Amino acid sequence: MTSQILDYSDEEIKQLVSQIVKNGYAVLYDQKLTQREYVKAVSRMGECDSWGYFMNPPDNPEISIVSGQLDENGKAIGMFRDQELEWHANGAGRHKFKEICVGLYCVEECIDTTLSICNQCDMFAELSKEEQDYYRSIDIGLDAEGVSVWPKDSDYKGAGEEDFGVSAEFYGEDVDRRPLVSKHPVDDREYCYFLIQYIKKAYIGDKEIDIDKFYADLWPKMFRSKYMFHHVFRRGDLLFMDQLHTIHRRSPIKYKERQLWRTAFDYSNTKF
């Protein structure tokens, strides 16, 4: 019988978090969870994000429904619709945030849709010392205004969803740049925070560097198959991914009823 996360001991929860941080992700199979049980399980790891948007069930606002399904009025029941999603991470556009782990629990599958994860930590570790020192010297400016992970903003708007706040003011940001390379708060390993399309400016000291050259230089180093993991969700799969060590993308959804329950949380309740 498959081990259920609801039955995990404190030591097993700690081992799970360690696996997520070390590999950038972890997958549990054949889990049987209600929404409340899912929230209870991930809350053992840390504090969950909680919102009141259209995709958040009122009784379990820590969960965001991810689905391409529309209701009888043609409105989306969940976020991200059915389009391809470009490379992104939770917290994109923010210079600081604490919910650095995302959980995705599959309740309705689409076997034609693939989630891809790229490990930013492993990539940085394999750069030469000269390259590492160069990237350590760079600060980046992130901007979510007018940016979408969808191919076209118009694909998402106008289907009845409310607009979410993504501005610096909304999130209480008080800085306008952050290091491209930082150390993970749990394992202290360095990762390269390559937030595609959200990085609008890059600097070395007070000197702004050419953003197109910056992207062209880093892109082929990051997106190599050796740093990637690909997953097709089946019912009962529970996937966790660290949002500092990795970024992810998704292929389009063919079966619109596909549904995942998404959570975002920190590791504050894990005893290391």
Mean of the pLDDT values across residues 41-58? 96
For the chain, helix (H) and strand (E) counts, in that order, are 6, 15
| pLDDT given at position 149 | 72
What is the reported pLDDT for 159?
Answer: 47
Q: Is 159 left (phi over 0), alpha (psi -120 to 50) or beta?
A: alpha
Mean pLDDT of 104-115: 98
Question: Who's near 66: CB < 8 A, 6+ residues apart?
Answer: 55, 78, 79, 80, 104, 259, 260, 261, 262
The percent of residues in the chain predicted with pLDDT above 70, rounded, is 91
Predicted confidence (pLDDT) per residue in 147-201, tens digit = 777 655 444 444 455 555 555 555 666 778 999 999 999 999 999 999 988 999 9
Cα 152 to the center of its chain, rounded Å: 20
The H-or-E segment that residue 223 falls in is none
Smallest CA-to-CA distance from 44 within 81, 15, 69 is with 15
What is the structure's pLDDT at 93?
A: 81
DSSP string of 24-65, one letter each residue: SEEEE-S----HHHHHHHHHTTSPBP---STTS-TT-TT-EE
pLDDT at 1: 62
What pLDDT is attached to residue 95?
83
Which stretch of 69-78, 148-157, 228-237 has the lowest confidence by average pLDDT? 148-157
Q: Is residue 39 within 8 Å of 263, Cβ to Cβ?
A: yes
Find, among 13, 214, 238, 227, the residue nearest to 125 by Cα: 227
**Domain topology for 10-265:** Double-stranded beta-helix (3.60.130)
Q: Which residue has the tokens 């209480």?
A: 172
Look over the chain and give the mean of its residue pLDDT values, rounded to a whole number.
91
pTM over 0.85: yes
Q: What angle do CA 135, 130, 223 make, to 5 degrees?
A: 55
The domain ranges of the chain are 10-265
Note the pLDDT of residue 94: 84
